[in-house]
Structure 1
Amino acid sequence: MRDNPHIFNGHEIIISGAGPVGLSLAIALCAHGFECLVVSKESVFDQKQGDFDGRAYTIAAGCWAMWDTFGICEKIQPFAQPIQKVEAEAASFAPLSFGFDDGQSEDRPLGYLIEAHSILSALWEKAQNTKGLSLVTNSQLSGIKTHADRVDVSWNGSEGGASARLLVGCDGRESYVRKAAGITFPGHDYKAKGLVATVSLKQPHNGVARQIFLKNGPFAVLPLPNNKASLVWTEREVVAEALTDLSDRDFELELKEKIGDFLGEFSLLGGRFAYPLKMRVADSFVSDRIALAGDAAHAIHPLAGQGLNLGLKDVASLAETIAKAAHVGLDIGSPLALEPYEEWRRTETINMATSMDLLERMFKAPPIFRGFAGLGMSLVGKSETARSALIKQASGCDGENTPQLFQGRLMQFS
């Protein structure tokens, strides 16, 4: 419980969006004594009735540590596949691959693979039982007005509304909050889609996440419990759409022809889903009484599986920024209070987005450049120092920039 909470009209903070980022932020803030209102365009999530959209997320060690402070890891654990090793290969050249083990702890995995609906189920259940957290479902923001001392929001064409000190947009790439704040979202589209499918594997995957770089984009095999795997196949838009429309049998044949023995024997489970790929970073993560987090603030290429991890690090950083500002008596919606979050997260996000963009471009470049990229990847795989640095970066636990929640600690200030 934080010191001297400044309750405003029943809610200090309004959060637009009830995905993993929005709900995690609300839970983190309420654990510190804030009163939060979450506005969700969806109904309360029910795993038994929810539509499975095919997605599975790579969850880094820091994100898992934060969720552990919420007390939800026990619920998620049965649906989580520990990642014991990561391997990558550059196609069309002599075999180039690297794998790395977590040398920091023999019993701690590099991260986890979890299907999206299992994450949402746990977070919704926690949110509904969190003191100080209110939920408005089946509602979309339709008005935002900022004032010197508050922000007013309305939803569903003014059928409802509320005021708070701070509004946080966790409402995705097409964020209403970002657009209303006049924050631009520069970047580019890859003119490609990530085709997602789930398969059952004949051979044990042993917790190994694998990726091969093909001419049109990377192809990833991400391990799931019960020897299943989530496939993420990047292709040009027109090709991805055609593959989505194929029968299961024809899709399996196309897949085998494309990647040969890389996947081994498999059988398709469920449907296929295609998502457009973009690279975008908001020009600012904060405005007057407004902050952005997750996909509302950035979108990166999924080849390293860091999209949600970036969003969850936004959560940990923003929660700590808000809590520290309140602790020293600042107005949590003021520019002075929010500036540290902007400085903390935006540069790191730009660096990650640029790195993924460069890697994607290099492996789609003419053969000589792809060869240099493959050679560089091979050298990284042979360097213990480089592998250690990759592990630390992927975990989200990078020294002084690591939020307290990512260290598995509740936020505290002396």
Structure 2
Amino acid sequence: MQKQSDIIIVGGGLNGPALALALAQTGFSVTVIDALSEKIRRNAAFDGRSYALALTSQRLLDGIGIWQDIAEHAEPMLEIKVTDGRAGEGPSPFFMHFDHAEIEEGPMGYMVEDRHLRRAFLDAMAATPGITHLSGKTVVAQSVGPASASVTLDSGKIITGSLLIGSDGRASGTAERAGIKRTGWGYGQTALVCAVAHEKPHNGIAHQFFMPPGPLAILPLTGNRCSIVWSETDAEAQRINALDDAGYLDVLRPRFGDFLGDISLAGKRFTYPLNLTIANRFVAPRLALIGDAAHGVHPIAGQGLNAGLRDVAALAETLTLAARRGEDIGSPLVLERYEQWRRFDTATLAAATDAFNRLFSNDNALLRAGRDIGMGIVNAIPSLRRGFIREAAGLTGDVPRLMQGKAI
């Protein structure tokens, strides 16, 4: 059967387009299939959704040509303050304070709104030869053969390529149709997400405040605004979300504090349940998974999108080098290299976020004392602080070339 593209990517959110751009720049032809229409993605208003992009993720976006379109909308994260306490009582005297000035590379990362990222990806895909973008199309079936992979769209059209990529989220139909099972569990927590405007400048400082029900992240956006990711028990989150805006803010204010002055909602608010879900395999015959289709972790460290972009950079490098050697990019040996590269890093991230959430999301006096002392020790030792800063910036581990600011 004739191949329309070298690579088929199912999923048009963020990781899928990023991979398409990275691959197209090294000579692959790519088809991106997105269940949502381009009009919906392009015309989205500000809804509070934002992402903490590690420094290495910013380098990748620069390398694939979209950073120039979003740089003016990005807020550098210059400091991170991590504290422990209870709502209305203020933070514990023990804390961790990370300052980007302790490393040479620059800001630890940037906060960027979802709407700016999506528009930049759409514009870049439209301007890049070799990318076919099919929006508003759903995959209803897929199959693989000795030399090709095919998907069938809801229109009945069949798309064929050498390799199929699943970038279609935690409930990945691509993984399910390939028979890939998942391991994971729920946390009994729900994230409340919104953006707030405030009176005083945030100075590029991100805050992570651990409370017994779950963490509260206050992340700097451009202007006097912050993105809020606030975890509560499922029942309490449902109760809070049912309140009107005034009631919602009344609950948030004692948790947020008054260090930025009075706050008001900026944009919509929404919720999502928190869980851990890891695909038991990241690859199958002529198929690979990236992003949430491969791994969904607790947002406690804001690493979900960064982990997905690491998949993008690692898979693009693996496939490009294999093609230059004359290898079949869909062969088991090539795909196993990608899985081996990403599996350990993903398992480590999942274990760390799970452990941190369990350690901090409780009101046990002994655990509270132990974690507060631990934070104080980390904060007092410069080498430990720099290690955490480099981890937050994505500079540790086997960093793919695109995330080092290098071409493949």
Class of the TM-score when normalised by the shorter of the 2 chains: over 0.9
Tell me how far apart the structure 2 counterparts of residues 254 and 355 of structure 1 sit (CA, whole Å). 29
Assess, with a 3 A threshold, how the Cα gap between structure 1 residues 101 and 78 changes in structure 2: closer, same or farther: same
Give 5+ residue unaligned stretches, structure 2. Answer: none
Tell me how far apart the structure 1 counterparts of residues 350 and 123 of structure 2 sit (CA, whole Å). 32
Question: Residue 115 of structure 2 aligns with which residue?
Answer: 117
Query: Do structure 1's residue 213 and structure 2's residue 207 form an aligned pair?
Result: no
Q: Which moved more, 1:240-249 or 1:146-155?
A: 240-249
Answer whether contact 1:279 1:353 (CA < 8 A) is retained.
yes
Question: Residue 246 of structure 1 aligns with which residue?
Answer: 243
Question: Residue 384 of structure 1 aligns with which residue?
Answer: 382
Cα drift, residue 106 of structure 1? 6.1
Answer whether contact 2:200 2:260 (CA < 8 A) is retained.
no
Q: What are the within-5 Å matches in structure 2 for residues 69-108 of structure 1?
A: 69-92=63-86, 94-103=92-101, 108=106
Over the aligned positions, Cα root-mean-square deviation in angstroms equals 1.8
One-letter identity of the residue aligned with 1:329? G
Question: Residue 18 of structure 1 aligns with which residue?
Answer: 12
- TM-score, with structure 1 as normaliser: 0.93
The 3-state SS of whatever aligns with 1:356 is helix
Question: Residue 68 of structure 1 aligns with which residue?
Answer: 62
Question: Residue 128 of structure 2 aligns with which residue?
Answer: 130
Q: What are the within-5 Å matches in structure 2 for residues 154-169 of structure 1?
A: 154-156=152-154, 159-169=156-166
Tell me how far apart the structure 1 counterparts of residues 228 and 72 of structure 2 sit (CA, whole Å). 20
Tell me how far apart the structure 2 counterparts of residues 180 and 206 of structure 1 sit (CA, whole Å). 47
Assess, with a 3 A threshold, how the Cα gap between structure 1 residues 268 and 236 changes in structure 2: closer, same or farther: same
The correspondence for 1:355, drawn from 334, 352, 355, is 352
Tell me how far apart the structure 1 counterparts of residues 39 and 17 of structure 2 sit (CA, whole Å). 12
The correspondence for 2:200, drawn from 200, 203, 208, is 203
The correspondence for 2:146, drawn from 145, 148, 159, is 148
Cα drift, residue 134 of structure 1? 0.3
Assess, with a 3 A threshold, how the Cα gap between structure 1 residues 333 and 25 changes in structure 2: closer, same or farther: same
Tell me how far apart the structure 1 counterparts of residues 128 and 96 of structure 2 sit (CA, whole Å). 43
Answer whether contact 2:15 2:309 (CA < 8 A) is retained.
yes
Q: How many residues align?
A: 403
Query: Do structure 1's residue 283 and structure 2's residue 283 form an aligned pair?
Result: no
| Identity in percent | 37
Tell me how far apart the structure 2 counterparts of residues 139 and 54 of structure 1 sit (CA, whole Å). 27
Question: Residue 311 of structure 1 aligns with which residue?
Answer: 308
Tell me how far apart the structure 2 counterparts of residues 128 and 47 of structure 1 sit (CA, whole Å). 14
Cα drift, residue 54 of structure 1? 2.5
The correspondence for 1:336, drawn from 320, 324, 333, is 333
Cα drift, residue 155 of structure 1? 1.2
One-letter identity of the residue aligned with 1:10? Q
The 3-state SS of whatever aligns with 1:333 is coil
Question: Residue 24 of structure 2 aligns with which residue?
Answer: 30
The 3-state SS of whatever aligns with 1:243 is helix
Cα drift, residue 248 of structure 1? 1.2
Cα drift, residue 108 of structure 1? 2.0
* CA distances 1:70-112 after superposition (whole Å, capped 9, x unpaired): 2211210111100000001011574222211224656821100
Q: Which moved more, 1:263-272 or 1:13-22?
A: 263-272
* CA distances 1:282-336 after superposition (whole Å, capped 9, x unpaired): 1111010000000000011101100000000000000001111111111101111
Assess, with a 3 A threshold, how the Cα gap between structure 1 residues 371 and 26 changes in structure 2: closer, same or farther: same
Give 5+ residue unaligned stretches, structure 1. Answer: 1-6
One-letter identity of the residue aligned with 1:232? V
Tell me how far apart the structure 2 counterparts of residues 284 and 234 of structure 1 sit (CA, whole Å). 29
Tell me how far apart the structure 1 counterparts of residues 19 and 115 of structure 2 sit (CA, whole Å). 18
Question: Residue 394 of structure 1 aligns with which residue?
Answer: 392
One-letter identity of the residue aligned with 1:130? T
Q: Which moved more, 1:353-362 or 1:106-115?
A: 106-115
Answer whether contact 1:313 1:396 (CA < 8 A) is retained.
no
The 3-state SS of whatever aligns with 2:208 is strand
The 3-state SS of whatever aligns with 1:218 is strand
One-letter identity of the residue aligned with 1:44? E
Tell me how far apart the structure 1 counterparts of residues 358 and 271 of structure 2 sit (CA, whole Å). 21
Answer whether contact 1:8 1:165 (CA < 8 A) is retained.
no
The correspondence for 1:224, drawn from 221, 226, 246, is 221
One-letter identity of the residue aligned with 2:64? F
Cα drift, residue 275 of structure 1? 0.9
Tell me how far apart the structure 2 counterparts of residues 77 and 100 of structure 1 sit (CA, whole Å). 23
The 3-state SS of whatever aligns with 1:34 is coil
Tell me how far apart the structure 2 counterparts of residues 404 and 330 of structure 1 sit (CA, whole Å). 20
One-letter identity of the residue aligned with 1:19? G
Cα drift, residue 46 of structure 1? 6.1
* CA distances 1:54-77 after superposition (whole Å, capped 9, x unpaired): 311000111111111122112101
The correspondence for 2:289, drawn from 280, 287, 292, is 292
Large movers: runs of 4+ above 4 Å: 45-48, 104-107
Tell me how far apart the structure 1 counterparts of residues 92 and 117 of structure 2 sit (CA, whole Å). 39
Tell me how far apart the structure 2 counterparts of residues 51 and 148 of structure 1 sit (CA, whole Å). 45
Answer whether contact 1:45 1:120 (CA < 8 A) is retained.
no
One-letter identity of the residue aligned with 1:90? D
Cα drift, residue 43 of structure 1? 1.1
Cα drift, residue 236 of structure 1? 1.1
The 3-state SS of whatever aligns with 2:51 is strand
The 3-state SS of whatever aligns with 2:82 is strand
- TM-score, with structure 2 as normaliser: 0.95
Question: Residue 3 of structure 1 aligns with which residue?
Answer: none
Answer whether contact 2:42 2:118 (CA < 8 A) is retained.
no
Tell me how far apart the structure 2 counterparts of residues 73 and 105 of structure 1 sit (CA, whole Å). 22
Tell me how far apart the structure 2 counterparts of residues 409 and 370 of structure 1 sit (CA, whole Å). 43
* CA distances 1:336-360 after superposition (whole Å, capped 9, x unpaired): 1111111110111111111111011
